Amino acid sequence: MRENLDKQLSFTSLKWFNFFVYGTVVLFTSFFPLYLQIMGMNKLEIGSLMSVGALVSIIANPFWGIWSDRYQNIRRIVLVMLTGTLVLSQLVFQANTYEMIYISILFFYFFQGPLFAQSNTMILSYIDGTSQRFSSYRLWGSLGWAFTAILAGPVIEWAGVSVLSYLFAALLCAAMIALIAMPKLDHSIGIAPLPFRGLRQIFYNPFFLCFILFGILVSIPNTMNNTFVSLYITELGGSKTMIGLAVFLSSILEMGVLLLCNYILKRKISVLLASLTFVSALFFLRWWMMADATTPLQVALIQVLHCITFGGFFYVGTQLTMLLVPRAYRSSGQALYTLTWSGISGILGGVLGGWMYQNLGVQTMYQSGALLALFGTIGFGLMWLFFIRGGYRPPADPEDGAAEE
């Protein structure tokens, strides 16, 4: 009886933990650029600062993975990461010079950047051997992202952007309390901290490399938008509440898109490539409409398309990686896909987008993003035609059904 109670407590605490962790991240991604603008930074400086996280994550992810595997106590590792994120976030908000902000943000991202990956591993370790499904915990994360955004908007509107540090600290403390309330984890499933041993074999697969290249073209403008959409809304006269509403709608609807993709999309390369081409075309349409927007409400409504574009692209891209890479190298393939989406694209999108916003204007930034998405769409379309005409044969793996075409 006592054991069942402990398990139920751990599952409930895990859900709230994910809720609060995702809430802290949406505060940072959606409202922190506004804080930096008030601090006097221009668009290029903001874009460069926000892109630092992608660069730091290349080092931070394997570092925390190694320590998690060495100590076999991922719960404690995550607690250390949360503590470091809390302390350094306050240093970021208290910094009064550009130099101090850049230095503190580097260390902040070192603790915060890999938090999602380590948290997911911890959740998988807790539910390992049970009937619990990871998707339910991911759902709580999405709810935390959506409801934090819509509730924080009016609060920041009323109290000012300076209240962001207190909201951030409150959510991090709530996540730490939920983590401490969990019973001690008696095992960890572990993940490979350096999953790049198969990269040499992957680079011999030009079809997969084309998939990665076109994915970068599509994801760069997505990073531009994520970094600067809040500034765009406010410059058009929108409020912090409007920003929160835009994030809320896209996040809530994204959960439905992911469930729908999981239900209707067949795990066939031809189907997934066609879907990726369609989603990339929607990205093109989205950025073109953003360039023509004249009111904050238009931007907020166009932002709702995020649920289809990002949700669909992330789901389809992950599934395609599983089918285009041989089983023995899938860990390396997924690592490379994630690195290009959040790493390379994150760096290029932040710096390039900031430079264009600062020197050429926001319309030019979005028009350039639309052009990149168009090139990606054409590329994926040509890959689909090449595949259905028999120009490419995936690695044989009967369990996936990838070779059936």
Query: Is the separation of the CB atoms in 243 and 30 below 8 Å?
Result: yes
Paired tokens of 61: 């992810």
Per-residue confidence at 403, pLDDT binned at 50, 70, 90? very low
CA distance 219 to 369: 9
Q: Is the pLDDT score of 213 beyond 80? A: yes
CA distance 220 to 238: 25
Residue pLDDT, tens place only, 21-72: 999 988 888 888 988 888 888 999 899 888 887 778 778 877 877 776 677 6
The 3-class secondary structure across the chain, one letter per residue, is CHHHHHHHHHHHHHHHHHHHHHHHHHHHHHHHHHHHHHCCCCHHHHHHHHHHHHHHHHHHHHHHHHHHHHHCCHHHHHHHHHHHHHHHHHHHHHCCCHHHHHHHHHHHHHHHCCHHHHHHHHHHHHHCCCCCCHHHHHHHHHHHHHHHHHHHHHHHHHHCHHHHHHHHHHHHHHHHHHHHCCCCCCCCCCCCCCCCCCHHHHCCCHHHHHHHHHHHHHHHHHHHHHHHHHHHHHHCCCCHHHHHHHHHHHHHHHHHHHHHHHHHCCCCHHHHHHHHHHHHHHHHHHHHHHHHCCCHHHHHHHHCCHHHHHHHHHHHHHHHHHHHCCHHHHHHHHHHHHHHHHHHHHHHHHHHHHHHHHHCCHHHHHHHHHHHHHHHHHHHHHHHHHHHCCCCCCCCCCCCCHHHC
C-alpha triplet 305, 310, 315: angle, nearest 5°: 130
For position 330, what pLDDT does the model report? Answer: 61
Q: Is the pLDDT score of 280 beyond 90? A: yes
Paired tokens of 54: 């992608």
Residue pLDDT, tens place only, 130-173: 777 766 777 788 888 889 988 998 999 888 888 999 999 999 99
Q: Which residue has the higher pLDDT, 224 or 398?
A: 224
Q: Is the dihedral of CA 265, 269, 272, 274 positive or negative?
A: negative
Query: Is the separation of the CB atoms in 90 and 111 below 8 Å?
Result: no
Average pLDDT of every residue of the chain? 82
CA distance 61 to 150: 30
Q: What is the pTM of this model?
A: 0.82
CA distance 129 to 198: 29
Q: Is the dihedral of CA 361, 104, 220, 136 positive or negative?
A: negative
